[in-house]
Structure 1
Amino acid sequence: PFVKIEDGQISSFPMKGTIDAGTENAEELILSDSKELAEHNTIVDLIRNDLSLVSENVKVEKFRYLERIHTNNKDLWQVSSKITGNLPENYASKIGDILFSMLPAGSISGAPKKKTVEIIHEAEKYDRDFYAGIFGVFDGHNLDSCVLIRFIENQNGKLVYKSGGGITFMSKAETEYEEMLKKVYVPVG
């Protein structure tokens, strides 16, 4: 998810750290990986800051918990956190402003957000269109949204599947590539 809004509370669930659930001691390995911890800390701080732009009493409710993701290829463990804040009473009339103030999604851009977005634009040299954007359902009171990190796009009559992953100064190219290959499969169930 990108953000969820329920009864005036906004929640975000930054995800950083993925491992094949079939790996021996997978849970222990992912939770003790210093690179993954550093990335997760950075993104939790970024998302906490983003939520503080639109809400009050922002807090990290749950830090670094494991979620099992089922794909059509294998199961993965993913490390997530839950961050919440209280929106102002008139939030429903400002839903667009709330969302736009937090874009691009910090879990995709990284930190510092402004600089990393500049680097991404320089490196990619093309418009991502919908890929890595957000999608959501808003019923006038509650919102459920997600980041389009696995996305099929129609480009001139051809379907192109887009998926990716993040890198940091601590990244090892081979490890990041292997993680991307694991995450390319669509979650099911």
Structure 2
Amino acid sequence: MPFKELNAYGKRAEPFLFISDFKGEKVEVFPLDKLQKNNIEFSIEENYTYKQHPHFLKKTPIDFSNYKLKFDQVIENIKAGNTYILNLTQPTQVSIDLTLQEIYTLANAHYKLRYKDQFVCFSPEKFIQIKNNKIATFPMKGTIDASIEDAEEKILSNEKEMAEHIMIVDLLRNDLSIVAKDVRVEKFRYIDEIEAGEKKLLQVSSHISGELEENWQERIGDILEALLPAGSISGTPKKSTLELIEKIEGYERGHFSGVFGLFDGKSFDSGVMIRFIEKTPNGYLYKSGGGITLDSDAHSEYQEMLDKIYLP
């Protein structure tokens, strides 16, 4: 079992790269010296230097009318009490005259991964970080175009965005409590500025932490198994919401919104695989979306899905 294999690596303090699909069903672990042989490259860099590049992604998204049908199904299930928040995503056909390796090289992000000739992601969102026996997660929920007048004030005072964020923070606080003690919200709803192609986005995040025992490395696989899928890109309650996602979205997320991370022998850092381009026989697909609550507006959510399609 892959998660047990992760425990063994942790016990030996052997560095590895961990990659999981959205559902936590396809889990792979690669010793760092085997990455090149497997045609995989990654970068985890908190303080990367931003490189300017042209923005030339052409998008052919799902029609709004088709999106609205899916959106309405989510709202119906919220009203029925089957979910409180569901992260609705869709694939968008994009045209870009670059290889996955060239896209990987150009993109600016804290978390970058190119997986063979199958997909590339360039994510701003942390999943979990573990250092000095402390585990932390940083859910991102709430996005606004930074060029909008008083954008920061508007996103922070928006009641729908506040409700959505609170539900995800509550979910992830409960998730961390499965594996850690003394779980607390260190910082609630702070703003990050994200370079989003030709525009800038403001993204709202929170910081949640907990305490692990001294030998947590020996159960790193158990910790990851308990926390997957990532609550920030599924919804709550997790089990019923995951079932609805599969039914309503109508496509396979695959590795999109899964997780990849690095264990260096002492600490662990990982990102959620959003901002994601997948290579298919019919060209490139860019998968994106956002959280839907009872107060969501279909036009706004559709626009947010499109705003998240960019090469940072």
Corresponding residue of 1:92 = 217
Corresponding residue of 1:50 = 175
SS of 1:164's equivalent? strand
Per-residue CA distance 1:17-72 (angstroms, 9 max, x = gap): 11011100101100000000000000000000001111111000000111111122
Where structure 2 has 5 or more consecutive residues not aligned to the other structure, the ranges are 1-125
Corresponding residue of 1:78 = 203
1:163 Cα shift? 1.8
Report the residue type matching 1:52 in the other structure.
S
- CA distance in 2 between counterparts of 1:95 and 1:157 reads 38
Q: Give the conservation status (yes or no) of the 8 Å contact 1:149–1:164.
A: no
1:123 Cα shift? 1.1
Residue 274 of structure 2 is aligned to residue 155 of structure 1: no
Q: Give the conservation status (yes or no) of the 8 Å contact 2:289–2:304.
A: no
- CA distance in 2 between counterparts of 1:116 and 1:80 reads 21
1:157 Cα shift? 7.1
86, 96, 110: which one aligns with 2:235: 110
Q: Give the conservation status (yes or no) of the 8 Å contact 1:138–1:144.
A: yes
SS of 2:291's equivalent? coil
Corresponding residue of 1:37 = 162
With the length of structure 2 as denominator, give the TM-score of the two structures: 0.58
1:146 Cα shift? 0.8
SS of 2:170's equivalent? helix
1:80 Cα shift? 0.6
Q: Give the conservation status (yes or no) of the 8 Å contact 2:286–2:309.
A: no
1:125 Cα shift? 3.7
CA distance 1:89–1:167, shift in 2 (3 Å): same
Per-residue CA distance 1:150-180 (angstroms, 9 max, x = gap): 2122223733222222212221100111112
- CA distance in 1 between counterparts of 2:296 and 2:311 reads 24
Map 1:140-151 onto structure 2 (within 5 A).
140-151=265-276
Corresponding residue of 2:294 = 169
- CA distance in 1 between counterparts of 2:192 and 2:249 reads 31
Corresponding residue of 1:135 = 260
Corresponding residue of 2:226 = 101
Report the residue type matching 1:84 in the other structure.
S
Q: Give the conservation status (yes or no) of the 8 Å contact 2:136–2:210.
A: yes
Of 62-71 and 29-38, the range deviating more from structure 2: 62-71
- CA distance in 2 between counterparts of 1:132 and 1:145 reads 12
Q: Give the conservation status (yes or no) of the 8 Å contact 1:8–1:89.
A: yes
CA distance 1:126–1:177, shift in 2 (3 Å): closer
- CA distance in 1 between counterparts of 2:230 and 2:186 reads 20
Corresponding residue of 1:12 = 137
SS of 1:165's equivalent? strand
1:182 Cα shift? 1.7
Specify the structure having the higher radius of gyration (Cα): 2
SS of 2:292's equivalent? coil
Among all aligned residue pairs of Structure 1 and Structure 2, give the percentage whose two residues are the same amino acid. Answer: 57
Higher relative contact order (CA 8 A, sep 6+): 2
Paired residues, number: 187
1:143 Cα shift? 1.2
